[in-house]
Amino acid sequence: MDTQLGLIEQSFNVRYSVWVREALDDLSGSFTTTDPCISGHPIVYASRGFLKMSLYSRDEVIGKNGRMFQGPKTNRKSVMEIREAIREERAIQINILNYRKDGTPFWMLFRMSPVFNKEDGRVIHFVGVQVPILQKHRQSSSGFGRNGVNLCEDGVFASRRREVCSDSVAELARFLAMDSVLGSDDRELEVDEPSEASDLEMRNAVTAINNTLSVLTHYSELTGRLVCGKRCCLSGMGLLGSSLNISLGRIKQSFVLIEPHLPDMPIVYARDVFLKMTGYARHEVLGHNCRFLGGVETNSSTIFQIKESIRTEQACTIRILNYRKDKSKFWNFLHISPVRNASGKIAYFVEVQIDESRKNQDKQGLSHKMRQCSVVGAVKAAVRSLSMVTDTSNS
């Protein structure tokens, strides 16, 4: 649990500096930020408006998955649409029924957008804005579905009417946004009625997203780890999608993925167990070659074996002396294997590490080799499955 909380702290502090939370606390409205790179895709920030709306405390929300706000009458189809948007790393806006801590249900307009690493295009966070739907909006034959509003490819919402947003309307939007945070149960829609957000509520959601992204972008500049609301790098080489991140997050052993098609063959994925074993933070591992684990007493012939395994695209198992961040030594029982996609081309190399100083085996009593083989099999299945889905969607 302490490791998870540490990762959540790093998720924000390393990327945006320690002052970002204060800046976000000054924003009005209800929104959360989640990290798809941490196992379970937890909430790493929740605004004051969200806490007032949901009736939860910050400690009850941070580290939890957003599914905790769903209930028996939440539309499963809407949930699946959100999950698909996460897998495809795209924005979504949808109407969904959620539940407060006291069990009361309410309809809300949910808008979610990814936050990208400006340098390599990886998804760093997702920002989710929640706008309670307070007034009754009848269904129309305009093509809007019961589950919400679809986004155009350029991120602009389709609208039933194109209205001019005057100063008075903007002021009303600010009033309703504050009123929605405080809550007005007598104005909310009946639970069993499918809802549709108004144009005003849609604009409120867009404004809240833009304000949040603006703060995150500004504070990322202070650390030099720039983020943006649109993917700026489309090279695609070595880019791990949220779907693959989620699949790999289910594997409990220590391992890393290496991208052989990028210069210096950097690590593009590191399991939490690996970080705990070596003492390094995620940002100190991703984008770096595995040689940082070596030291003065690491055998050069063993390193040569690793290079030959990669050059010949063959699996190998070796015992190598490695160093943690605190310079303490440990014997690493290391297995390296190529991972091919559905077309048979090598997509990654997986390295599975076992610290031999820890004699305990897993609860099933599996040997080191069996544990490593199970990890390799799970990684290969996740990569092939994702590449087959991608090939099908592109055909």
**Given pLDDT bands bounded at 50, 70 and 90, which one contains residue 103?**
very high
pLDDT of residue 215: 94
Report the range of poorest mean pLDDT among 166-170, 261-265, 308-312, 367-371: 166-170
| Domain end marker among 228, 260, 282 | 228
Task: State whether 263 and 127 are in the same domain.
Answer: no
Task: State whether 221 and 369 are in the same domain.
Answer: no
Q: What are the CA-CA distances from residue 313 to residues 257, 262, 303, 338 (Å)?
A: 15, 16, 15, 6
Mean pLDDT of 55-61: 95
Mean pLDDT of 96-102: 95
> Which H or E element spans position 283?
helix 282-285
Task: State whether 216 and 308 are in the same domain.
Answer: no
| Domain end marker among 159, 194, 228 | 228
**Given pLDDT bands bounded at 50, 70 and 90, which one contains residue 2?**
low
Alpha-carbon distance of 60 to 99, in angstroms, equals 14
Task: State whether 135 and 250 are in the same domain.
Answer: no
What's the total number of domains in the chain?
A: 2
Q: Does a structural domain hold residue 234?
A: no
pLDDT of residue 234: 42
Task: State whether 253 and 136 are in the same domain.
Answer: no
Q: What is the pLDDT of residues 154-213, one digit of tens each?
A: 333 333 333 334 444 444 444 444 444 444 444 444 566 656 888 899 999 999 999 999
Alpha-carbon distance of 236 to 94, in angstroms, equals 28
**Given pLDDT bands bounded at 50, 70 and 90, which one contains residue 131?**
very high
Alpha-carbon distance of 379 to 39, in angstroms, equals 15
Share of the chain above pLDDT 90, in %: 44
Report the range of poorest mean pLDDT among 172-176, 259-263, 352-356: 172-176
| Domain end marker among 195, 228, 261 | 228
Q: pTM here?
A: 0.53
Place of tokens 């009946």: 190
Would you state the structure tokens that stand for residue 36, as one six-digit string? Answer: 């798809």
Would you state the structure tokens that stand for residue 176, as one six-digit string? Answer: 């309703």
Q: Does a structural domain hold residue 170?
A: yes
Q: Does a structural domain hold residue 161?
A: yes
Judged against a pLDDT cut of 90, whether residue 391 lies above it is answered with: no
Q: Does a structural domain hold residue 338?
A: yes
Task: State whether 68 and 207 are in the same domain.
Answer: yes
Task: State whether 218 and 297 are in the same domain.
Answer: no
Other residues' Cβ atoms within 10 Å of the Cβ of residue 95: 25
Judged against a pLDDT cut of 80, whether residue 236 lies above it is answered with: no
Tallying the residues shown for the chain, one arrives at 395
Q: Does a structural domain hold residue 19?
A: yes
As a whole number of angstroms, the longest Cα–Cα distance in the chain is 74
Q: Does a structural domain hold residue 233?
A: no
Alpha-carbon distance of 114 to 158, in angstroms, equals 20
pLDDT of residue 136: 54
pLDDT of residue 107: 93
Mean pLDDT of 316-326: 94
Mean pLDDT of 370-376: 88
pLDDT of residue 194: 58
**Given pLDDT bands bounded at 50, 70 and 90, which one contains residue 339?**
very high
Which has the higher per-residue pLDDT, 275 or 158?
275
Task: State whether 49 and 91 are in the same domain.
Answer: yes
DSSP conformation letters of 309-377: HHHTT--EEEEEEEE-TTS-EEEEEEEEEEEE-TTS-EEEEEEEEEETT-----TT---HHHHHHHHHH
Alpha-carbon distance of 123 to 216, in angstroms, equals 13
Task: Report the CATH number at residue 354.
Answer: 3.30.450.20
Which has the higher per-residue pLDDT, 24 or 246?
24
Task: State whether 105 and 253 are in the same domain.
Answer: no
DSSP conformation letters of 115-143: EEETTT--EEEEEEEEEE--S-----SSS
Would you state the structure tokens that stand for residue 331, as one six-digit string? Answer: 């014997």
Would you state the structure tokens that stand for residue 71, as one six-digit string? Answer: 């209930």
Which has the higher per-residue pLDDT, 120 or 108?
108
Q: What is the pLDDT of residues 132-143, one digit of tens each?
A: 998 554 444 333
Q: Does a structural domain hold residue 236?
A: no
- 201 neighbors 172 (Cβ within 8 angstroms): no
Which has the higher per-residue pLDDT, 187 or 66?
66
Q: What is the pLDDT of residues 287-314, one digit of tens each?
A: 888 999 999 999 989 999 999 999 999 9
Which domain range does residue 93 map to? 2-228
Task: State whether 276 and 153 are in the same domain.
Answer: no
Q: Does a structural domain hold residue 235?
A: no
Task: State whether 179 and 314 are in the same domain.
Answer: no
Would you state the structure tokens that stand for residue 107, as one six-digit string? Answer: 């309809």
Task: State whether 54 and 118 are in the same domain.
Answer: yes
First to last CA, the chain: 43
Rounded mean pLDDT of the chain? 79
Centroid of chain to Cα 321: 33
pLDDT of residue 345: 84
Mean pLDDT of 357-380: 75
- 94 neighbors 204 (Cβ within 8 angstroms): no
Burial class (CB in 10 A: 0-12, 13-18, 19+), 273: middle
